[in-house]
Each structure stands twice: as C-alpha cells, then as structure tokens.
Amino acid sequence: MFARGLKRKSAEDGEDVEGGLAGAQAMPSYSLQRQSLLDMSLVKLQLCHMLVEPNLCRSVLIANTVRQIQEEMAQDGTWRVVAPQAAGRAPLDRLVSTDILCRSVREQEGERPGPDAGDGHTPDLVPGLATVPSAQALRSPQSSLWEVDSSRENRGGFQKSLDQIFETLENKTSGSVEELFADVDSPYYDLDAVLTGMVGSTQSGHGSGLQAFSSATAPPPSSSCRSDLGELDHAVEILVET
C-alpha cells in the first residue's frame, strides 16, 4: 500500500534530508510519528461512505484525537513546515509499526522534542499536508480557497474546518458528497501522495469542510521544498478550478 524504495530527487537542502534519512533508518522520532497519526486521522475524517451516513461516534473520536494532537503540537511549538520528502517517507514506511504512540507518557518523556527552534518557518496549519510553500507564494491574493494569514487565525481556521466537517456530516447533501469524490481515481489512502503535497492538495480541495485543511500560512519559500515549476503551475491550476 505504501510506496517503498522509490527513488526520489535529492533534496537541495542536503542537511534536512540527511537528518530525515538518518531518522528513517533508526526509529522515527515521536514528532514524526505524531505527525503521521495526524495525517492518518485527517484522511479518515475525509473518507466518508458515499451513500450511507458516516458513523458519528467514529467521527467524533477521530476529531477528538486530531484536537489532542493539535493541542500538543501547539504546546510544543512544533508546528512547522516539514520537508515533504522526509515527512513523506519515514513515517509511512513505519506507519503500521508505530508503537511509540502507543506508549505511555512516561516512556515518551525522554523522546519528545522541546519547542522547536525551527528554521524560521511560520508555524504551519497542517504541517504534513500543505507543504508546498512555493505554490502558495504563487497564488493570487484574491484566491478564496486559501487563507494566507497569521498562524493564530489559521489555528482558528483549523478548528473551524473541524467543525465544518461536522456540519458536512450532519447536513450531507448529495452535492457535497459527489464533490468529495469527483476526481478520486487513486485511493484516498495514498498517504504518500498526500504528504508530498501535490495530489493531496487537489484532493483535499474538494468539499467545503475540507478546503481549510489544506489552507496554510504562506511561509517564505523554502529552499528545501523546491520543485518543478511546471508541477506547481499544474497544481495551482487544479486548485483554482475547484
């Protein structure tokens, strides 16, 4: 299910990737695993049965988990843009065997990172998903799809988007459901693609409740996230169209 052993472009920011790769060899850190749990949870919230009402209990429990992670990340101050390649590969390969997250707090105390000094990036709303800062810089200011604002607003936006999910769940109309699944030809569960940002951004652009998940601040273009301009154009095109 998860892409393994894919060749990837060597990242420009060698140091980050090295750190990431090194992390991939050893046990992924608590924050990476927490990140992948967050991503998994968001995907689960998006995956709704087309025809039958989603299970409200399950949705509430997943949403509460997402909130928990969000709160912890806010406390840690670890909301930052993670280099997509590193974020994409390491936790996914170990998604199934992430038992760090199952350990108790006491066990984890030694492993959790302190507030991240960061690399100067503005805290990202949904660090794993929207990791195409260059694309956002290209976006036109009047694009209604994106909230290009301060992190605090975005945190509110995150909360709001979570609530929108519930509104969507409650008032589901066939229109929105179809929108959700209009362009899905690959399984949602391709977390790989989601985390690398391109395909994920387009998919999560569907549906009112889900747009906000992909919305993010506009951190300064990161040299670690350089990609083909052609790909970015394509992505922006799709985003603007939806």
Site of interaction with other proteins (CB under 8 A):
34, 37, 40, 44, 51-53, 55-58, 60-61, 63-65, 68-69, 95-99, 101-106, 159-160, 162-163, 166-167, 170-174, 177
Nearer to other proteins, 178 or 233 (CB): 178
Closer by beta carbon to other proteins, 91 or else 133: 91
Residue 161 beta carbon to other proteins: minimum distance, rounded to whole angstroms: 10
CB of 166 to other proteins, least distance (A): 5
Nearest approach, Cβ of residue 24 and other proteins (Å): 17
Q: Say if CB 133 and CB 81 are below 8 A apart.
A: yes
Closest CB to other proteins among 3 and 138? 3
Name the residue nearer to other proteins (CB basis): 26 or 51.
51
Least distance to other proteins, CB of residue 170, Å: 6
Q: Which of 126, 146, 127 is nearest to 137 (CA)?
A: 146
How far apart are alpha carbons 4 and 18 in whole angstroms? 18
8 token code pair:
């990837």
d(CA 160, CA 151): 14
Whether the Cβ atoms of residue 209 and residue 167 lie closer than 8 Å to each other = yes
Integer Cα distance of 213 and 201 in angstroms: 9
Q: Which is nearer to other proteins, 44 or 80 (CB)?
A: 44
Given the complex with other proteins, which of 95 and 145 has the nearer CB atom? 95
Minimum distance from residue 228 beta carbon to other proteins (Å): 32
Which of 116, 138, 148 has its CA nearest to residue 218? 148
Integer Cα distance of 233 and 174 in angstroms? 31
Q: How far apart are CA 218 and CA 212, in angstroms?
A: 14
For the bound state, the minimum distance from the C-beta of residue 171 to other proteins, rounded and expressed in Å, comes to 8
